[in-house]
A = this chain, B = another copy of it.
Amino acid sequence: MTAPAAPGHPEERARTIAFVTYPGLTPLDVVGPLQVCSALADLVPEFTVVVVGEHKEPMSTDTPVSLVPSHTFDEVPRPDVLIVPGGLVPTLAAMADEHLLDRLRGAAADAEIVGSVCTGSLLLAAAGFLEGHRATSHWMFRDLLTRFGATPVAERWVEDGRFVTAAGVSAGIDMALHLVRRLAGEDTARLVQLVIEYDPEPPMGGIDWAAAGTEAYTPFADELLAQALEGDPGLLARLRG
């Protein structure tokens, strides 16, 4: 989609930031960075933000709210920035959804930046994008990236060329502020941060990873994967190594 040039910015090419939606996703994966990028678009008319999906119909999430995209994939064939959210079982199942993966391949073809939040990186990996790249994901599924030839990295977000992947759920906000800085400069990114008052104070402090005992969740993660890929034993076997 090419948005019309904004008044006062006739020389600048409109740049479209597209957020992907699909049924069952984790809504904070979308709405966190969407709020950041919408503030960018309010401040800098060069940028247009859209939310794309197969249909412009209400889409279930892993919470009681449903989301309705603003555009279909067909209406935004070549966004400049594409962001893919994650989720739990529906996202793991979507690794075998060739129709959705084809949508991502098409939309990402010419994109300057291809990003993901949480397990959205597994969809980028399943679509064939992350082979040979460093990437991250939700801690519970991060190591699956190796099965697609990517190198998992335990960082809040990981930038490798045009691929920018964020850790789990809330990490999309941090990644999006980084993207705003990359796209529009640090002053604008600071203003966006002020607009959304992003001055986090987790009431119990950050996550104490040493105490979190994440390795105890491996059987649970494997059970979710098996449930998600019940219909694709070949992919399941490949991902289980």
A interface, CB within 8 angstroms of B: 19, 21, 26-28, 30-32, 34-35, 38, 49-51, 58, 62-71, 118, 138-139, 156, 167-171, 173-174, 177-178, 181, 186, 189-190, 193-204, 206-207, 209, 212, 214
Contacts and interface: CB of A to CB of B under 8 A. Distances in A.
Given A64-B49, A67-B67, A68-B68, A169 B189 contact: no
A47 B71 CA distance: 35
A65 B58 contact: no
A168 B169 CA distance: 19
8 contacts: A26-B35, A27-B35, A35-B169, A51-B65, A64-B69, A67-B67, A178-B203, A186-B204
Nearest to A181: B203
Nearest to A208: B190
Nearest to A155: B201
Contacts of A214: 194
B173 A170 contact: yes
Contacts of A193: 202, 204, 207
Contacts of A66: 67-68, 70
B194 A212 contact: yes
Most buried by B among A167, A169, A177, A199: A199
Given A35-B169, A193-B204, A207-B193, A199 B156 contact: yes
Contact of A70 (B62, B64, B138, B190): B64
A6 to B, nearest CB: 16
